[in-house]
Amino acid sequence: MTLVHPVHSRTAVALGLLGAVIVGVLTAIQSRVNGEFGRALADGYLAAVISFGSGLVILLVALALWAPGRRGLRVAFGSVRTGTTPWWHLCGGAGGALFVLSQGITGAVLGIALFTVAAVCGQTLSGLVIDRNGIGHTPPAAITITRLVGSALALAAVGVAVSAGFGGDIPALMLLLPFAAGLAVAVQQAVNGQVRRVAGSALAATFMNFLVGTIVLVVVCLVHEAIVGLPERMPTNPVLYLGGLIGTIFIGGAVIVVRVTGVLLLGLGSVAGQLVMSLVLDVVLPTPGQVIVSSTVIGTLLTLVAVMIAALPSRQLGKLPIRGR
């Protein structure tokens, strides 16, 4: 039996792309919240654990109240036991953990500009490869001329948007970690979608993402705290503790949307949402010393154009391989 990639209507793709943009908007909000939390706590590692951990607690409560979610989790584990689903499909949360850790390790050295460019490059390239070859139960998706053009324009647009932050003597090898994190985020989105398909539950897939991510971060944080020690006090602003809640919403949204958009369009749409919301936050709630420059506005607008181009139907490049009979 030949697997054929499902063809979605233009309306479904448009709605999926809108969902991807919303995922990016929420990602930007979470980044601001977690960034402020890490600054107030003076410990980005512990802030990441609290953010992931609080999301995991929320999802545990949701699972306790939602029987289909618990049933989906049992189905997912059963599929792994029988060999139908590879075990690593349940480990998508490790990609999110790597992204958060790379921010803490290289963000201060690279600055947000270089970090963003390296991560987006990794995410876009990984999304192209995953869509072209398929993954798990999802057969290959068509790589069209407009998707390639949109991807190239998106990379150039992000470079323009953050160009004001370039400069300085930065070790080239330092860029490898955020680039790897970008690669991992695309894989995370893909395998989370696989878990949702097998389990028949977005809640089950989102829970597994947070469970694995929290475990990874706790292990790394324990090593870090053993070396530097715990912070003397915790921040009292309750808003700073909302990162986990926001994360459960946009990770769950990405799990649902990726089946319609594919990994590449999900990544491009979320990047557009992140840039737009980051710009809005810088205008409405500016951080001390933050100045909005024209290149940021131009790059953001170019990214939106790139996403619209990538979403347009066009001629396929090459034939899709047959995935089994």
- 106-124 pLDDT tens trace: 765 666 666 777 787 888 8
Residue pair 197/259 in contact (Cβ under 8 Å)? The answer is yes
53-86 in b/e burial notation, b at 16+ Cβ within 10 A? bbbbebbeebbeeeeebbebbebbbebbeeeebe
Query: What is residue 230's DSSP assignment?
Result: -
pTM over 0.85: no
Examine the pLDDT at 104 and tell me if it is beyond 80. no
DSSP code of residue 7: P
DSSP 8-state class, residue 259: H
**Is residue 318 scored above 80 in pLDDT?**
no
What is the token pair recorded at 276? 């737009």
Closest-CA residue to 110 (of 122, 99, 118): 118
Examine the pLDDT at 68 and tell me if it is beyond 90: yes
Alpha helices in the chain (DSSP H): 10-41, 44-65, 67-81, 93-133, 145-161, 176-199, 202-228, 243-284, 294-311
282: confidence class by pLDDT, cuts 50, 70, 90: confident
CA angle 129, 135, 138 (to 5 degrees): 115
Other Cβ atoms closer than 10 A to 44 = 22
Torsions phi, psi for 135 (to 5 deg)? -155, 135
Distance of CA 235 to the CA centre of its chain: 26
Residue 189 and residue 183 in contact, taking contact as beta carbons nearer than 8 Å? no
- Residue 218: strand, helix, or coil: helix
